[in-house]
Structures are given as structure tokens and as C-alpha cells.
Amino acid sequence: MFYDPARQKVVLYGGYDGNTEFNDAWEWDGEGCKWDKIDLGKDAPLASYFSLVRNPDQNSLLAILSEFPSGTWELKNDQWTKLPVGFDADNRVRTTAVYIPTHKEFIVFGGEAENIILNDTWLFDGRYWSQYVTKNQPSIRSDMVIWYDQTRERVMLFGGHNGDIRLNDMWEFVHPEK
């Protein structure tokens, strides 16, 4: 779910009801107290475990989908396109992505893949994914909260779960200068 400033509405996409994965989209304006369906055509990917983040520079959404059909997808003008990026987040669940406006790229951290909890960091420049490796990084985790702090111009990460305990630590990502 995300706020779409172009529509000036909250949009809900995909999901899972215990039996079925969905690829439908709905919008809520907050005033009419009703949901309206958005027609995304027949090629919208099924999505229940995914990360979805808005790219304000392209007026689009980036989705990192797990399971089938996995990969990096873009939603622009109500049309889904799978991006040929060289890295697919196959079976990566319980992660999140955020857009870094100062560097015009996205960051993904951790999550789970095939029941293994991860602590890897990936950057996406709109064309290619690259892994960012550092000696000092958060421990393995999933279900964390990540956001971009506009005041400090940093990506912030809070909490999560490492398989045994809930974490309540906070980290900041200092972007590598190119």
C-alpha cells in the first residue's frame, strides 16, 4: 500500500488471503469512503511477498517480487514491466526497499530467501543492481522498517526479527560516494 501523489489517493496492490495470490489494485481517496478498482490490464504480476517503493523522479513504482513471477518490476502509467536488470530477488521475502533521492537509486537490505535470513545490501540505479559490502552492517534480519530521512539525507533502518528475537536497534546507511 502506498500514497500516489499523481492520483492523490492511497493505492493497495496484490496480497494473499491464505489461498490465492492477487494482482489487482484498488484506490482509496479517503473522502468517498469507498474503494475503486484500478484496471492494470492482463499482465499485472501476482504479488503477495514483495517490496514496493515509489520513484518520484520517474513517476513510477519499483517492485521487488518474490516467488513467481520474481524479479524487479516497474509500474508506470498503470502498466507493469519486468526490468532486465541482472539480479532478481528470487524468493526474497520480508524485506523492504527505499528510494534515495540524493543519489537517484534504491536500496534493499536483508529479508529471507529459502528460509535463510539475510543481511546483504543491494543498490539499484534504475538499470542495474550492485551489491554493497561493508564491514559494519546490521545483523541478519527480516521484517525491519527502512525509510529515507530527508533532513539527515540518510537511509534509516529500525528493528526487525532475526528468527529468534525481535530486534530494537537502529542503523543508518551512509551512502558510498562515487
Residue 159: pLDDT above 60? yes
pLDDT at 62: 86
At 138 the three-state DSSP class reads coil
Q: Specify whether the CB–CB gap between 158 and 145 falls below 8 A.
A: yes
Geometric angle at alpha carbon 76, from 89 and 81, rounded to 5°: 45
Average of pLDDT values for 78-88? Answer: 79
Contact criterion met (CB below 8 Å) for 176 and 132: yes
What pLDDT shows up at residue 142?
A: 93
pLDDT at 90: 57
Q: How far apart are CA 178 and CA 169, in angstroms?
A: 28
DSSP conformational letter for 41: -
b (16+ CB within 10 A) / e for 106-132: bbbbbbbbeeebbebbbbbeeeebeee
Mean pLDDT of the chain: 86
Better-scored residue on pLDDT, 82 or 171: 171
C-alpha cell at 146: 527502512
pTM listed for this prediction = 0.84
Of the ranges 35-49, 91-105, 135-149, the best mean pLDDT one: 135-149
Name residue 26's beta-bridge partners: 12, 37
**The most confident of 44-48, 52-56, 96-100, 131-135, by mean pLDDT:** 96-100
User: How would you list the strands of the sheet with 60-65, edge to edge?
Assistant: 50-55, 60-65, 71-76, 79-82
